[in-house]
A and B are shown apart, each in its own frame.
Chain A
Amino acid sequence: MSMFKQTFILVLASTSLLFGFTSLAQTQGAGLGTPVSESLLENFDQVVEPDGSGLPEGNGTALEGKLVYDEKCQVCHGAEGEGTSGNTRIVGGDINSSGNPIRTVGSFWPWASTIFDYVRRAMPTDAPKSLTDTEVYQVTAYVLYMNGIINQSTVLNSDSLAAIEMPNRDGFIDRSQVQ
């Protein structure tokens, strides 16, 4: 092989390597992700957003939720949601009370969607994800009812839950762009 030809091949090879690496690193990575459809992720994706996106089918009322709550929640959160420690109180309180305000679902949480989301993914702490979607709707309704936000017979579903305006909704200031 002539010297010229050898050099030419080397240049070609390194040029394609360069382009190849650039496209790998900047645009496509290794391209090894497996395409999946959202329908396959229906059980896996449990993110619920304030506008109600991600809420599943189903519904529940506080009347129904009391049964689930008494069996599975009140051991930590207390019979009336008064809690068994500071972090487990979920009812009452006043964000404007003097001293250290008591921050509960009713007095503090800005979105009702968070109750559903958190209960479904993390509660009860000794058996997370053991509640059915219907039970999560029921318990969410009961927690809202105990806080005086809905009636005991209000049917909570994806639409009615997203429409709830929490008492401290305007108490939060988004600082995400202050960096």
Chain B
Amino acid sequence: MSNPINSLEKVAGNGLINRRHLLGLGLGGAGLAITGSVMAADNALPFEIPSWSRQPGPGASGYGTRSSHTEYMQRLAGNPNPVYPGGGSSRSPLQYLQGTITPNSLHFERHHAGIPAIDPAGHKLVINGLVRQPLSFNYEDLLRYPMVSKIHFLECSGNSGSLFGANASDGTAQSLHGLVSCAEWTGIPLSTLLDEAGVLPEASWIAAVGADAASMGRSIPINKALDDVLLALYQNGEPVRPGQGYPMRLFVPGWEGNLNVKWLTQIKLTRGPSNFRDETSKYSDTMADRSSLQFTFPMGCKSLITSPSGQMALERRGLYQVTGIAWSGAGSIRRVEVSADGGQSWADALIESQQSDRALTRFRIPWQWQGGSTVLQSRATDDKGNVQPTRDALIATNGLINRYHYHGIQSWSVVDSGEVRNVYV
């Protein structure tokens, strides 16, 4: 019998297959499962009615839970540090997720002093400083304002920072890159509230302050604040969760995560940046010449293959779907290329999801693994012409001191045994 895989059009080296074959191959959804012609059913047992079809299950419930068979999907939280009670982060399990929307329970977190227990009835949002009239808003009143909904990624600027390290650590997509997530954010354009307070001409920046124990603050230029920044009240249709800033957070599309101040309680209009600790001592980028770039806001054009990815194992040779996510703080992803030979040749992946402004994009391409060792890579291009750089090119620009804004090409090695590992090439 001829193998139908052999008739598929190869579009780049080492087994990459034209993305259009995804549409007719029935490769969907099975993670690393292989389709193809190798599985004969010679020893198969007769099909029986399963036990769960023989008794009624539990009825409807007030709040949903996931299958007990998917509980392996967990955020990965760092070890607590007694020096910073409640500080730290948890990372999204990128290698298990599909599509582009991160479930709220698996959205990454980064806290600087833990999650405050806020009663919305006692929470205030104050706008003051260089405004005609300082104002205070309570939660119930804010719910009466016109809102908009936008799907955007959120990425910590420290995401993937370990890839600046001298040696490639043996991590997963989650442990290496899990400080990125994507959600539909619903809220009030900040410009609406700033206009109500009346921005004075000399106001060039805002200072945004949270109600957590660190009262974390960040400065944002007024032109951005009046452009597309949201006071986000909902995430994927439900009120933002405490770990994401309940009852309200700032959402700053495309810009580094730390600016998206959670538990937002104050917007102060100022002449210049306030130079908070988290925009001087932290979240500034020290270059090789020891100058430090400050207010490096937009997140870079970036992608990674989430399957196959670090610490997975290909069980046997055959056809796989290579899939991953791409995003850019500058706009929409226009193109994702994949290489199965360590960057010698590239093929366009199928952009599976909508190409949305500053949102995660899902790509796929079929790949026939013929055994042996190789390196899988992806490379994103956005609609502004930004191309994801190699790790070497990024380091040549940024040096090795800075640990923020890593967006180099991710390389996954596949060895003959099928094991997948993070590598530098």
Q: Give A contacts to B, CB under 8 Å.
A: 21, 24-38, 41, 44-51, 53, 76, 84-85, 87-88, 95-96, 100-101, 103, 105, 108-111, 113-114, 117-118, 121-122, 125-126, 128-129, 168, 171-179
Partner of A38, one of B87, B128, B276, B286: B128
Per the bound structure, the CA–CA distance linking A44 and B122 in Å amounts to 14
Chain B residue with minimal CB distance to A77?
Answer: B83
Per the bound structure, the CA–CA distance linking A37 and B330 in Å amounts to 39
Chain B residues with CB under 8 Å of A125's CB are 83-85, 87, 113, 213-214
Asked whether B298 is an interface residue with its Cβ less than 8 Å from the other chain, the reply is yes
Chain A residues with CB under 8 Å of B390's CB are none
Are B294 and A175 neighbours in the complex by a CB distance under 8 Å? yes
CB-contacts of B120-165 with A (<8 A):
126-129, 133-138, 141-142, 144-146
Q: Say how far A35's CB is from chain B's closest CB, in angstroms.
A: 5
Chain A residues with CB under 8 Å of B84's CB are 87, 125
> Can you list 12 contacts pairing A with B, beta carbon distance less than 8 Å?
A29-B195, A33-B141, A33-B196, A44-B266, A45-B128, A48-B274, A50-B275, A95-B290, A96-B290, A128-B214, A172-B280, A179-B297
Asked whether B241 is an interface residue with its Cβ less than 8 Å from the other chain, the reply is no
Asked whether B106 is an interface residue with its Cβ less than 8 Å from the other chain, the reply is no
Per the bound structure, the CA–CA distance linking A168 and B294 in Å amounts to 13
Beyond A45-B268, A128-B113, whether A35 also contacts B275 by CB under 8 A is no
Are A47 and B214 neighbours in the complex by a CB distance under 8 Å? no
Beyond A30-B145, A35-B134, A174-B295, whether A128 also contacts B280 by CB under 8 A is no
Per the bound structure, the CA–CA distance linking A32 and B266 in Å amounts to 16
Q: Give B contacts to A, CB under 8 Å.
A: 81, 83-85, 87, 112-113, 126-129, 133-138, 141-142, 144-146, 188, 192-193, 195-197, 207, 209, 213-217, 221, 266, 268, 270-277, 280-281, 284, 286, 290-298, 330, 400-401
Are A121 and B215 neighbours in the complex by a CB distance under 8 Å? yes
Chain B residue with minimal CB distance to A28?
Answer: B196
Chain B residues with CB under 8 Å of A28's CB are 195-196
- For the complex of A and B, list the 8 residue pairs with the smallest distance between their C-beta atoms, beginning with the closest: A33-B135, A176-B295, A121-B215, A118-B277, A32-B141, A29-B192, A122-B214, A172-B294
Are A47 and B286 neighbours in the complex by a CB distance under 8 Å? no
Beyond A30-B141, A32-B144, whether A47 also contacts B270 by CB under 8 A is yes
Are B291 and A173 neighbours in the complex by a CB distance under 8 Å? yes
Are A172 and B215 neighbours in the complex by a CB distance under 8 Å? no
- In the complex, besides A29-B196, A38-B134, A121-B214, 14 extra interface pairs with C-beta distance below 8 angstroms are A24-B146, A29-B193, A30-B145, A33-B197, A45-B268, A47-B207, A87-B83, A101-B290, A110-B275, A117-B276, A121-B217, A122-B216, A175-B293, A179-B330
Per the bound structure, the CA–CA distance linking A26 and B145 in Å amounts to 12
Q: Say how far A114's CB is from chain B's closest CB, in angstroms.
A: 5
Q: Say how far B117's CB is from chain A's closest CB, in angstroms.
A: 15
Per the bound structure, the CA–CA distance linking A118 and B195 in Å amounts to 29
Where chain A touches its partner, the secondary structure class is: loop
Chain B residues with CB under 8 Å of A37's CB are 134
Chain B residues with CB under 8 Å of A114's CB are 275-277, 280-281
Q: Say how far A115's CB is from chain B's closest CB, in angstroms.
A: 9
Partner of B221, one of A31, A122, A176: A176
Chain B residues with CB under 8 Å of A34's CB are 135-138
Q: Say how far B34's CB is from chain A's closest CB, in angstroms.
A: 45
Per the bound structure, the CA–CA distance linking A168 and B188 in Å amounts to 39
Chain A residue with minimal CB distance to B194?
Answer: A29
Beyond A125-B85, A173-B291, whether A179 also contacts B135 by CB under 8 A is no
Are B276 and A25 neighbours in the complex by a CB distance under 8 Å? no
Per the bound structure, the CA–CA distance linking A53 and B203 in Å amounts to 14
Are B221 and A32 neighbours in the complex by a CB distance under 8 Å? no
Chain A residues with CB under 8 Å of B266's CB are 44-45, 47
Chain A residue with minimal CB distance to B403?
Answer: A100
Are A47 and B195 neighbours in the complex by a CB distance under 8 Å? no
Per the bound structure, the CA–CA distance linking A87 and B281 in Å amounts to 10
Are A35 and B209 neighbours in the complex by a CB distance under 8 Å? no
Per the bound structure, the CA–CA distance linking A48 and B214 in Å amounts to 15
Are B275 and A41 neighbours in the complex by a CB distance under 8 Å? no
Chain B residues with CB under 8 Å of A172's CB are 280, 284, 291-294
Beyond A32-B137, A33-B137, A33-B197, whether A122 also contacts B83 by CB under 8 A is no
Are A50 and B272 neighbours in the complex by a CB distance under 8 Å? yes
